[in-house]
């Protein structure tokens, strides 16, 4: 017999972005419980709103199926003595609730011995009992940024992301018997806060429809689609085009249960503000959407997404307009006042802005950035004059009133003010873009100078924080160092206007700036090594995104010759294709064998005595190796072809030559031959890591 299964956890409002992750985790955990119990169900449907996590299965068995269970006991030599059961056999049978006669002796399949074996039928349990036993632990282990405990009249030992107000748990008409955080599971759910029909027994057959009649769209995808359509309709009605913002759509989806779009207008005089100022203010402080007019210029029309369909939308719009106008008026005040002091005049103020406790001031950082750029402009591929100027001014907007009020405008306002100050386009563009990329999937800056500053700043930050021991753990990265490392990798891997510095060179030069400054700290070799390993870990994690295999990336990074990262990536691309070929597998396997032999042999000379080459196969390999060494240009694709051409002589060597010969001189000579061979391969990559 099958019935509908419904689980709903009702809570105070969950922060945006958290509920979907918790819903997915709840879904995964419940599916696992059902699967482990061999309970086959119809598809599970997930509902997520700020106030509820909901799971629904239309057809779920009410009873677990009976199953056969095999019980293995002691081996025959322990269970029997002179053909009679021993006390060990009788004790095991009694413990299993059986008699010795219920067991037979059979092989487990390994051919070693026969063991006591009995097959019993285990009666299935009620599914409601299985789920009731599992639910408290499932809820207890749901991932969330923070956990709360609350006291509202009862003692509660459990914690959750927000206080739990109701739990619905039903399998058909049967209520699952469990409680969590002082709340007993039942049948009653709650509607939208503004719905007159506040609570009732939710439909177990179609909870989504029941909730929708009570002003709750529980299906997150449906709610998001409703918002997108509402924004489109409102924009068309207002004669404007929406400034697309997927991130904000996701946020308001997680803040509403019954979303409706409200159209507002801010004062036209505030259109003098740069477009990003009004957009950032509307987004981050009011969660409102910006628009453009028919000509593509900023419009004073904006859209808010309310959590209720108001009887008086104009009044709601007016309330939003009052707040937006006040915020933008503040921005206008700062925008008009800030340029009275140039960015250059503000640089000195950075000496009073803390970079990080223990790492000095932002002014110190700016001097390090500028010093790095001046010392390495050619390798960074930038004009020294424009690049050092951009590095010198890139943080000055941190001292402006507008950025102080809206920190999200860092860089953008610096560029605006640089233009007002008369700085050239290369400098102002670099200031605008030098924070990019922010996310792992963001594009790198188009400005070569911004790219160079971004590399230097991230290397500087990683070295400083690692020096303080603020290294990310598996569960915490409060200073976003992983994001900094990923940004550094993306900048160095970019093949457009490539940076011809190796990772070691970047870190060494950044450390030199710290050490020359002698204001705060000195970066040790150990710190540089730790940062290098940290970045390599990020590189391996990003391999799929670069369309290369992780083993190929690992092999390329393990070369004996360090290259700029974009060149290591090119090698990894070649190795990814090479590893899938027969030649690639054979060459990789041979290299792994060579590496293992040399590792066991310890210290090995690479001096080869031709007079000690006695076998034809080793003579042929030596000749091929010598030719390859003399014809090994700095072109990865050609290098790989040369190395692939060594497959046959290497295979013939291992087929016909005993490396560990009895004659110590011959053995040492053959090990030297292998050492030279491996050294040649390592000039491109450690291909042994491909298998």
Distance CA 611, CA 199 (A): 95
The two three-digit tokens of residue 338, written as one number: 């800030």
**pLDDT attached to residue 412:** 96
Rounded (to 5) percent helix, strand, coil in the chain: 55, 15, 30
Instruction: Name the phi and psi angles at 340, rounded to 5.
Output: -65, -15
**pLDDT attached to residue 155:** 64
**pLDDT attached to residue 518:** 64
What are the strands, taking DSSP E only, across 16-163? Answer: 44-49, 52-61, 67-75, 80-81, 84-85, 104-107, 114-122
pLDDT tens sequence across 222-242: 999 999 999 999 999 999 999
Q: What is the mean pLDDT of the chain?
A: 93
**pLDDT attached to residue 520:** 60
**pLDDT attached to residue 129:** 95
| Contact indicator for 177, 128 with CB cutoff of 8 Å | yes
3-state secondary structure of 428: helix
Is pLDDT at 682 greater than 90 in this prediction? yes
Q: How confident is the model over 138-160, as a mean pLDDT?
A: 85
| Contact indicator for 569, 496 with CB cutoff of 8 Å | no
pLDDT tens sequence across 24-42: 999 999 999 999 998 999 9
**pLDDT attached to residue 602:** 87
**pLDDT attached to residue 154:** 66
- Lowest mean pLDDT segment, chosen from 108-112, 282-286, 578-582: 108-112
**pLDDT attached to residue 146:** 86
- H helices present in 472-524, as ranges: 481-493, 503-517
Is pLDDT at 205 greater than 90 in this prediction? yes
**pLDDT attached to residue 476:** 86
List Cβ neighbours of 436 (8 Å cut-off, separation of 6 or more).
442, 443, 444, 445, 450, 454
CATH T-level fold of 570-690: Isoleucyl-tRNA Synthetase; Domain 1 (1.10.730)
Single pTM value for the model: 0.78
Q: Which residue in this structure is represented by tokens 């690992």?
A: 554
Q: Residue 126: how many CA atoms within 13 Å on its side-chain side?
A: 11
What share of the chain in percent tops pLDDT 90? 82
Cβ neighbours of 66 (radius 10 Å): 9
Q: How confident is the model over 534-562, as a mean pLDDT?
A: 95
pLDDT tens sequence across 599-630: 988 888 889 999 999 999 999 999 999 999 99
Q: Is the dihedral of CA 525, 531, 534, 538 positive or negative?
A: negative
Helix axes 565-579, 636-644, angle to 10 degrees: 30
Kindly indicate the confidence band of residue 582, based on its pLDDT and cuts at 50, 70 and 90.
confident
Instruction: Name the phi and psi angles at 173, rounded to 5.
Output: -85, -10
**pLDDT attached to residue 1:** 87
pLDDT tens sequence across 275-315: 899 999 999 889 999 999 999 999 999 999 999 988 899 99
**pLDDT attached to residue 396:** 97
DSSP assignment string, 592-616:
HHHHHHHHHH-S------GGG--SH
């Amino acid at each position: 017999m099958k019935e509908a299964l419904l689980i709903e956890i009702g809570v105070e409002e969950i922060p945006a972005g958290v509920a979907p992750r918790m819903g997915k985790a709840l879904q995964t955990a419940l599916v696992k419980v059902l699967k482990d119990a061999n309970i086959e169900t119809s598809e599970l449907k997930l509902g997520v709103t700020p106030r509820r996590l909901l799971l629904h299965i239309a057809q779920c068995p009410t009873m677990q199926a009976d199953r056969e269970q095999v019980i293995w006991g002691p081996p025959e030599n322990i269970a029997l003595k002179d053909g009679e059961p021993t006390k060990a056999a009788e004790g095991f049978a009694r413990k299993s609730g059986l008699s010795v006669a219920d067991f037979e002796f059979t092989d487990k399949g390994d051919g070693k011995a026969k063991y006591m074996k009995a097959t019993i039928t285990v009666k299935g349990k009620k599914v409601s009992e299985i789920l009731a036993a599992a639910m408290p632990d499932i809820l207890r282990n749901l991932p969330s940024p923070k956990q709360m405990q609350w006291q509202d009249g009862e003692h509660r030992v459990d914690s959750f992301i927000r206080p739990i107000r109701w739990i619905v748990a039903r399998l058909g008409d049967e209520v699952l018997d469990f409680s969590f955080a002082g709340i007993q599971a039942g049948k009653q759910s709650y509607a939208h806060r503004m719905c007159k029909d506040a609570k009732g027994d939710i439909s177990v057959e179609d909870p989504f429809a029941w909730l929708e009649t009570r002003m709750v769209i529980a299906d997150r995808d449906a709610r998001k689609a409703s918002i997108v359509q509402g924004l489109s309709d409102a924009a068309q009605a207002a004669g404007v085009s929406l400034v697309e913002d997927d991130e904000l759509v996701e946020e308001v989806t997680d803040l509403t249960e019954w979303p409706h779009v409200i159209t507002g207008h801010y004062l036209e005089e505030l259109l003098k503000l740069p477009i990003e100022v009004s957009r950032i203010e509307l987004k981050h402080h009011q969660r409102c959407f910006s628009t453009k007019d028919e000509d593509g210029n900023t419009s004073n029309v904006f859209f808010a997404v309310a959590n209720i369909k108001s009887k008086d939308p104009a009044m709601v719009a007016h309330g939003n307009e009052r707040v937006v106008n006040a915020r933008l008026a503040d921005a206008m005040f700062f925008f008009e006042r800030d340029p009275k002091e140039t960015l250059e005049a503000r640089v000195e103020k950075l000496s009073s802005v803390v970079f990080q406790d223990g790492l000095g001031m932002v002014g110190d950082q700016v001097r390090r950035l500028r010093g790095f750029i001046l010392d390495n402009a050619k390798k960074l591929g930038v004009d020294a004059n424009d690049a050092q100027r951009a590095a010198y001014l890139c943080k000055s907007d941190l001292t402006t009133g507008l950025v102080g009020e809206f920190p999200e405008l860092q860089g953008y306002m610096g560029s605006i003010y640089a233009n007002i100050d008369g700085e050239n386009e290369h400098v102002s563009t670099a200031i605008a873009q030098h924070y990019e990329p922010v996310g792992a999937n963001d594009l790198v800056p188009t400005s070569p100078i911004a790219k160079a500053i971004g590399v230097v700043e991230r290397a500087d930050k990683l070295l400083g924080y690692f020096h303080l021991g603020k290294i990310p753990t598996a569960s915490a990265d409060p200073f976003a160092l992983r994001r900094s490392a990923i940004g550094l990798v993306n900048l160095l891997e970019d093949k457009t206007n490539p940076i011809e510095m190796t990772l070691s060179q970047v870190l060494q030069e950044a450390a030199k700036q710290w050490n020359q400054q002698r204001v705060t700290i000195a970066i040790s070799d150990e710190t540089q090594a730790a940062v290098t390993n940290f970045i390599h870990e990020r590189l391996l994690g990003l391999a799929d995104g670069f369309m290369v295999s992780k083993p190929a990336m690992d092999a390329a990074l393990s070369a004996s010759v360090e290259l700029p990262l974009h060149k290591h990536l090119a090698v990894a691309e070649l190795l990814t294709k090479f590893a899938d070929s027969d030649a690639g597998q054979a060459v990789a396997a041979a290299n792994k064998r060579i590496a293992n032999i040399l590792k066991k042999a310890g210290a090995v000379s690479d001096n080869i005595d031709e007079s000690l080459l006695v076998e034809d196969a080793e003579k042929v390999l030596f000749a091929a190796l010598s030719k390859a060494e003399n014809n090994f240009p700095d072109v990865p694709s050609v290098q790989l072809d040369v190395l692939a051409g060594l497959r046959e002589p290497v295979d013939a060597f291992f087929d016909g030559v005993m490396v560990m010969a009895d004659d110590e001189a011959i053995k040492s000579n053959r090990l030297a031959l292998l050492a030279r061979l491996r050294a040649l391969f390592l000039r491109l990559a450690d291909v042994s890591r491909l298998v």
